[in-house]
Chain A
Amino acid sequence: MNIHEYQAKEIFARHGLPVPPGAVATTVGEAVALAGKFGLPVMVKSQVLTGGRGKAGGIKFCKTIDDVKENAAKILGMDIKGHTVRKVLITGAMDIASEYYLGMLIDRTSQRVLLMCSAEGGVEIEQVAVEKPEAILKHVIDPRYGLLDHEALELGLKMCPGEIKKARQLAAAMQKLYVAFLASDASLAEINPFIFTPDGVGHAIDAKVNLDDNAMYRHEDYEAMRDLDAEDPSERAAREANLSFVKLEGNVGCLVNGAGLAMATMDLVKYYGGKPANFLDIGGSSNPEKVVNALSIILKDKAVKVILFNIFGGITRCDDVANGIIKATEMMTIDVPIVVRLTGTNEAEGRALLSKTKLHPAETMDEAVQKAIALAG
């Protein structure tokens, strides 16, 4: 789950990172009141779950209350890469003497948290990685010991040679960022930039955090952090039904067990000249209710002209799926054809259950996909 800057900053502040005071406004009036509270000048920062906010005009420096009024009015409601701005962060503006990048992510190769830091802060780190890769310092953190004092200090001194006071602040920020990363079950945590004001004091003035969906169960407060407005309604319904779903633009509704097979099914629809309407994995241990939910979600999309079930049973039992399909067709009006391919655990029982219905059976994945595309017209 991706969260907003202001939410990431709340996490950082809880772990002692130097985050400038700020709060979120949803109206111009609130923005003005907050600017009064924090004292001018302030930054008005759009809160949307996408990058490139600054370039899109979604981040503005405001010297006066009139600036705040004008910019908050402009930014609230603005569209940034398909995301409507509904909230702005009002936070104290600072004089920047120097900027740094501090970031952490799960590194698949080392199977550890990888710390990346750079004295080239304030720009997109992906851009630095391409244009000046030597400017990015990397350190793999041993989970048994964490980020040790000397490791952090050495990195700090590489970014700020000869400036021990700044190096110490960077080191402390990196150590706190690691603690925050683990405690919050992040998959990515970035401060870009971490700045020093002319008096030599460090501040984390931007924040980005992605949270591990697998760890939601142990963070009761995370569900409230989810931005429901930023989510596609069908993707939200799928998530609430505990289904893994991604909306696409085609007309072949796909209902598959297993993520790999679901992707391969979409790819095969495209191979035969069709367009998949979605990715949907009904997962393991499928029960009939899950199938009902999955069908309801797919059928809400009026572009869907055919439903394609591709089920290979391992944990998922084909009789469960067959029961689900039958129950769903009894519970709802389905006016598109349904192609069903069932193979694997309990497939004979599953096929026997389906034989009394009007569904279009298929033996193989290729046959099922071709049938579905033909029926979609």
Chain B
Amino acid sequence: MAIFVDKDTRVVVQGITGRDGAFHSHDMLAYGTKVVAGCTPGRGGQKFEDKVPIFDTVREAVVQEGANTSVIFVPPFGAAGAIMEAADAGCKLVVCITEGVPTVDMVKVMPYLKERGVRLIGPNCPGLLAPGIAKLGILPASIVKEGPVGLVSRSGTLTYEVVFQLTAAGLGQTTCLGIGGDPVIGTNFLDAIEAFNADPATEAFVMIGEIGGDAEEKAAAYIKAHVKKPVVAFIAGQTAPPGKRMGHAGAIVSGGSGTAAEKTKALNDAGIPVAERPMDIVPHLQRIWKR
């Protein structure tokens, strides 16, 4: 079991002919993900790696190949349009890897998705990887392992770091999910935690937050009220100076709020241990998780 994906997940990759789209589509296929179609307007009728049909529109991919999920690698100026195209064509899950999408575009996208009952992951995220089931995005398959731990993170490479350590400690994962570092994102910590809590295969989970916003605080309150499974957290950005955007559009301490200290306190108050270093996550999990 995993969250948000299963064996019936059939993927269309939007931007499959670009450098990154092609590189990662190759890896998704190699992992066994059902990449059933690609979409690049103007390249309809061609094939990706001689096997995956490419269409001009997502609707064709849905109608002809039964795609129900989209993974998006298109450049920022086309990303919001690509998300809405996938939603309108009938994809129920859309994963947008693209970094640098204007926030105002995402504000317009969100109600469009809600009206169509579509889940978005990202943008500006690494996607998700459910070991043994599917890889949607760019998480490196070499570091994951099937197992009972769920992982949700606002970061990309920091997620890999933690997954790597979990796997090294023999703690496999149900799903590794990167929700993205932008201010307006489709799936947030709360959505992921609700899903992990409901997923019988997930026995414990890890949450990797960072400075900016209050999603970690909201998640802490939810966990305190509803979650019995063991949870360990990490917050990046203790040394970040206020008022500076730390790479991610959403990673900024503004007006004195959104600090790592505030988030750590909220999590601790909810009884959730917060690791001081990434390498302390696994020991914390082993300590509180009575298997």
Contact = CB atoms under 8 A, between A and B. Distances in A.
Bind each other? yes
Interface stretch (A14-22, A30-38, A87-95, A307-315): A307-315
Given A106-B184, A279-B240, A261 B158 contact: yes
B215 A108 contact: yes
B250 interface: yes
Contacts, number: 179
B262 to A, nearest CB: 15
Interface in A187-221: 187, 212-215, 217-218
B241 A259 contact: no
A344 B181 contact: no
Contact of A143 (B23, B101, B107, B247): B107
9 contacts: A109-B218, A212-B103, A213-B245, A215-B102, A244-B247, A256-B157, A260-B208, A263-B251, A365-B279
A283 B76 CA distance: 15
Contact of A263 (B101, B103, B159, B239): B239
Given A260-B210, A267-B237, A268-B277, A111 B106 contact: yes
Contact of A218 (B77, B157, B213): B77
Q: How large is the interface on A (under 10, 10 to 19, 20 to 34, 35 or more residues)?
A: 35 or more
Contacts of B55: none
Given A108-B184, A187-B103, 16 more contacts: A106-B104, A111-B184, A144-B111, A212-B102, A213-B245, A214-B249, A215-B104, A260-B208, A260-B247, A261-B158, A263-B236, A263-B240, A279-B240, A284-B99, A316-B157, A364-B279
Contacts of B213: 108
Contact of A344 (B101, B143, B215): B143
A293 interface: no
Contacts of B161: 261, 264, 312, 365
Interface of B: 19-20, 23-24, 76-77, 99-104, 106-108, 110-111, 126, 138-140, 142-143, 153-161, 164, 181, 183-184, 208, 210-211, 213-215, 218, 234, 236-241, 244-251, 255, 260, 276-279
Contacts of A312: 157-158, 160-161, 164
Nearest to A249: B241
Contacts of B249: 212-214
Interface in A130-161: 142-144
Contact of B247 (A144, A262, A313): A262
B246 A344 contact: no
A345 interface: yes
A357 interface: no
Main DSSP-derived SS at the A contact region: mixed
A190 B232 CA distance: 39
A366 B240 CA distance: 19
A315 B110 CA distance: 26
Interface in A70-125: 106, 108-109, 111-113
B157 A260 contact: yes
B244 A314 contact: no
Contacts of A111: 106-107, 110, 184
A186 B244 CA distance: 17
B81 to A, nearest CB: 13
B246 A264 contact: no
